[in-house]
Amino acid sequence: MEIAIQYITNALSVGGTYALLALGLAIVFGILGFINFAHGEIMTICGYVLFYAMAIGLPFWFAIIIGVIMAGVAAVIMERIAFRPLRGANPMSLLIAGFALSGALQISFLVFLGERPKPVPMPEYFTGAIKIGGIYIGVVQVISIAVTIVAVFALNLFLKRTKFGISLLAAAEDFSIARLMGIRANAIFSGTFAISGLLAGIAGVLWLAQRGSVSYTMGFTPLIKAFIATIIGGMGSLTGAVLGGFLLGALEIVFQIILPSEQLIFRDPIVLFFLIAVLLFRPGGLIQEKKESMR
């Protein structure tokens, strides 16, 4: 029983991280219509900022805030430099641009910040376990789950209750009409990327809390899985992205348990394969777009 609950909290905390990443991808896709391939690098940037902020002696929580904010800023800059010149191009061009950007960023990290992973020390109370109802659960897991819930809830509030959030939703519904209604396109682009960057930053912090070090490829593997989570969830559907993220986390933990340790390298391939197999039966993802296929 205790082990089962520990596994479930593991699955939820890992899944939550994927969910936040997938959410960042889905919000850009839902509003702007393309996938930001360099999304994982935003997560990496957050990790490096965190590392250097702590290296110069800033307190942990302050470093986290700076890291997450910088992730948002990095995303906005990314949009300005790489994607804005291509606005209006087809989604595939934008995806390739992100792909190229991702490669360039990874190489920059590698060349300028070094190849070896940089350890980000977590405070001691992070690494312990707490006792809930007689069962020990890792603090990191609990915090991850809590942060995911809070982030998703806050995003929901922001989108539904603030003026800017509502205009983002309107843009997701129909960008050109939203513009006609007086919503500024540039604001939408920057705002969307800022939110997506913040989400990636939070995901980056959670990832670091679970892994403990940042390297130039930190964002790469989780991103691939977040990609798949967004497709599985249904492209552009926010609920779907969260769902896909948690499904992914669950699958990962399941295979972590059933695979013998020397076969663990096959965990990611099997999970991805499983998810692609889902697409065979539901090409549109779990949450299908409500719009009828009509022109």
Partner 1 sequence: MTININKQKDSRRIRDKKPDIGTRVGESFNSALLLLFTVAILTVPLSFIGATVNRIIILIIINIIAVVGISIFSGNSGILTIGHVAFYGIGAYVSGLLTTSPDIKMEFLPNLPEFLMNLNLSLLPAIIIVGIISAFLGLLTGLPISRLRNTSAIIATFSLLVISHYSLIGAKDFTNGNKSFYGVDQVVDVWTALGFLALAIGIAFLFKQSSAGLQLRAFRDDEIAAKSMGVKVNRRLLESWIISATVMGVAGALFAHTVGAFAPRAFYFLKTFELIAMLIVGGIQSISGAVCGTILIAVLLEIVRNIENGFVLFGLEVPPLWGLTQFCLSGIILLVLYLRPSGLFGNTEITLPFTKNLWPLSKKKVYETISMAPVFKKDNIGSGDMGKCLRADAVTKNFSGLQALNKVSIEVQPGEVVGLVGPNGAGKTTLINIVTGSLVLTDGRIFIDDKEITSWSMQSIALAGLGRTFQNIRLFKELTVRENIMVSVSANKDHSGLSLEKTATNWLVEFNLQEYAHRLAGTIPYGYQRELEIARALALRPRYLLLDEPAAGMNRAESENLLKLLKDIRTRYGVGILIVDHDLHLIMKLCDRVVVINKGEVIASGKPDEIQKAPQVIEAYLGTDQE
| Residues engaged in binding partner 1 (CB under 8 A) | 29, 34-35, 82, 85-86, 89, 91-93, 95-97, 99-101, 103-104, 106-108, 110-111, 115, 221, 224, 227-228, 230-231, 235, 263, 265-266, 268-269, 272-273, 275-277, 279-280, 283, 285, 292-295
Query: Residue 125: is it exposed, middle or buried by C-beta count within 10 angstroms (0-12/13-18/19+)?
Result: exposed
Residue placing its CB nearer to partner 1 in the complex, 161 or 295: 295
Residue placing its CB nearer to partner 1 in the complex, 93 or 127: 93
Report in angstroms how near the CB of residue 122 gets to partner 1 at its nearest.
Answer: 28
Residue placing its CB nearer to partner 1 in the complex, 58 or 86: 86
Strand ranges in the chain using DSSP code E only, listed in sequence order = 118-119, 129-132, 135-138, 213-214
Report in angstroms how near the CB of residue 199 gets to partner 1 at its nearest.
Answer: 18
Report in angstroms how near the CB of residue 29 gets to partner 1 at its nearest.
Answer: 7
Residue placing its CB nearer to partner 1 in the complex, 110 or 146: 110
Residue placing its CB nearer to partner 1 in the complex, 82 or 152: 82
Report in angstroms how near the CB of residue 13 gets to partner 1 at its nearest.
Answer: 22
State in Å, rounded, how far the first CA of the chain is from the last one: 53
Report in angstroms how near the CB of residue 25 gets to partner 1 at its nearest.
Answer: 9
Specify the 3-state DSSP secondary structure of 181.
Answer: coil
CA–CA separation, 286 vs 295, rounded Å?
23
Specify the 3-state DSSP secondary structure of 135.
Answer: strand
For tokens 């989400």, name the residue. 199
Instruction: Give the burial string for 61-72 (b: 16+ CB within 10 Å, else e).
Output: eebbbbbbbbbb
CA–CA separation, 38 vs 98, rounded Å?
5
For tokens 């539904």, name the residue. 160
Residue placing its CB nearer to partner 1 in the complex, 6 or 217: 217
Report in angstroms how near the CB of residue 250 gets to partner 1 at its nearest.
Answer: 18
Residue placing its CB nearer to partner 1 in the complex, 124 or 292: 292
Q: Which residues contact 189 (CB under 8 A, 6 or more apart)?
A: 32, 79, 83, 84, 87
Instruction: Report the 10 Å Cβ neighbour count for 180.
Output: 9
Report in angstroms how near the CB of residue 212 gets to partner 1 at its nearest.
Answer: 22
